[in-house]
Amino acid sequence: MPEEALSPIPALLAGADVLVCCGSGGVGKTTTAAALGLEAARQGRRAVVVTIDPAKRLADALGVPGGLGNDPVRIPLGDVDAEGDVGGQVEGGGQLWALMLDTATTFDGLVTANAADEAQAERILANRFYRNVAGSLSGTQEYMAAERLHALHSDPRFDLVIVDTPPTRNALDFLDAPGTLARFIDHPLFRLMMMPTRRGLKVLNIATQPVLKTIGKVVGGDVVADAVAFFQAFAGMETGFRHRADEVITLLHGPRTRYLLV
């Protein structure tokens, strides 16, 4: 490939704090994300590549035999060349890190970080609805990916975050996840459920009792009771979640966030 054909890539990296790789399945998004991370390190950037795909393709591309977890792992730059093969010396003083999203671990960390105290965090983490249902609800993985992006972007170890998204449809869910959460938190029923006063809980019982009874007949009364207990334990944390969702929305639409369609 002519050298001039590669020139847009260094320019793309130089002007970005976040780079999101999108595309359909099987087109090489993960390999591209890994190669971009390596090129960024060559330019002296402190790059971290995060994959939302639970497959181990990123670990394979970067030559990490033990696989990747939810915490960033530093990749020895001398071990990976531009094609992702072992070998190849890298210069420039940059760093390359990588991780694979773990939805449950990220959710647990988010609860712990936003809880008013240890007791509130323990109530939520021990709640059966949270343990058995919350992590598998539609949109949870996408929002946790957005949350992980926020945390990595705020981490002083990194000056570039490269996101390896799942196939196109799920990638769109990832991009919309912060807005979806913000709309959910702003919903009147959610606000009613979060009311901390006795009056608020009384209104909640009166307003939602018929609905809860109907749902209970379908999914079981214990599930409904656990869900209500979860939302009541969640009270007071919604402001922090809403604030972070707004920050992620701003980040995804910011001038230093770039999108690459593979």
Q: Tokens 């990490």 identify what position?
A: 64
Question: Domains in the chain and their CATH numbers?
Answer: 3-101+140-179+255-261 (3.40.50.300), 106-136+187-241 (no CATH)
| Per-residue pLDDT tens over the stretch 95-125 | 999 999 998 899 999 899 888 899 999 988 9
Two structure tokens written together for 122: 């323990």
Which residues make Cβ contacts (< 8 Å) with residue 64, sequence separation at least 6? Answer: 73, 75, 98
Question: Average pLDDT over the chain, rounded to whole?
Answer: 78
Q: What percent of the chain has pLDDT over 90?
A: 33
Asked whether 61 and 9 are in contact (CB, 8 A), the reply is no
pTM recorded for the entire structure: 0.78
| Per-residue pLDDT tens over the stretch 5-15 | 446 788 889 88
* Predicted confidence (pLDDT) at residue 198 exceeds the cutoff of 50: no
